[in-house]
Structure 1
Amino acid sequence: MNQETMIGLSKIEKALYWMIPPILGAVLGWFLPVIAEWVLTIPIVLLKGPLEFITSLNSFWVSVIAAVIGIIAGLFFSQYIFNEILKVFISDQNVRLLFKEKEEIIEKKDISTVYLENKDLVILGDSGNELYREQIESKKALVESAFKNHGYKWKEEDPFKNQYERWVADHPDFPSHINTLLLARERAMLENKHEEAKILRKDLAKLGVVIQDESKRQYVRMVS
């Protein structure tokens, strides 16, 4: 099978994402004068000056202009959503992963196992190292079928799930630089700095460290 299979939003989902935000933007814009008048009836209100200015203008043209702006804002929001959703292109030769306009290509020969952990698509290399991890919106059955149809080894769960150990500060089994990064990642998780924790996970994966998170606790295995 040489044809590429794409996993991402369905045609119906794409249509809804393109339609709903602009429609909502248009509706909110059209009723902006009415909303402004209602907000001004609240005893304590922020931005009172701009709201009074809106109500002082011709309500029809305010509605028209605000509706147009709402549609444009909705289209930008739709585009933002598309960029935030992982798209996976699977062929017999490789897997292309497109997320936030960044593309990564992993050759099939370098992939040992693919599985889903919660909503994360996880791709492991020959030595059990983590090659890729990102949240995917598609249903598990669809993802599993697509990978299997192209000859990739699919697992129902992490094949190394029994090899993780709870990480604590200055863990004696890990080098100091690994402990330093794991400590930084734990702090990021505790402070809800999700993007920082995600970056640190990738940095650690490059060093052969694979992590499972559970209630902001890190369970770790080292790839030999």
Structure 2
Amino acid sequence: MKKRCPIYTYYTSLSASVDHALTEMLELWGYAFYAQGFFPVILNQKHAESRTDFINISKIFSKFTTVNPAEYELSCYLRWVALHQQGGGFLMDYDILPMISPRSENMHTFRTCRWGRLTTYANMSPMVTHGNTSEIEQWIQYMLKFKTSDFIKISGKPHISDMYMAMHAIDHTPELFTVGSILPWFHYSYYARHSMFSHIKLSAAQVKIEYSLVFITRGAKVLHSFCC
């Protein structure tokens, strides 16, 4: 049997205290991409800690100013370190689901597990990114050396994030990223939830759990069969 290509997402903690709804979101992400022929893997800080300079890297990333909770923002940087420690590969947010046939050309290419150049996608940068070890390392070094003076302001407050760094790199260091065309996947972003589901009085996690199965091409019964 052909070995499945791993596909990674990252979450800061896998402790027993994780919210049940969030656990279901992670499971749903796993089911969706398993149905597409991948081997889903959830990374966390433990994977990043295997790097010898982890403490120093964490200190540098923690110094970047942000409007988000510090732990959340740090995890966004450390996910790249965790991916590097896995030998590179395909990393995405767990609030992204495929709206595409497993037989599509995109999925066939992804399942070959040949990453090469660091690649992100026009509508999901850097939420969907893949690259080999050396390419991921270049991206980590870019973030570590990012000028703190190149911040943006959100509601009048200075902010830097890996997403902003990726956008900055695409505009100013185009040799770092290859930007692929728009993927036919659905991102349950803050904007999408509020623009598409504003009439529904549910939390972000509940919106995804209640409505995401509609967008998975293999269907709920097929997906849930993989858990048994």
Rg bigger for which structure?
1
Which TM-score band applies after superposition, normalised by the shorter structure?
A: under 0.3
Could you state the TM-score of these two structures normalised by the residue count of structure 2? 0.26
Could you state the TM-score of these two structures normalised by the residue count of structure 1? 0.26
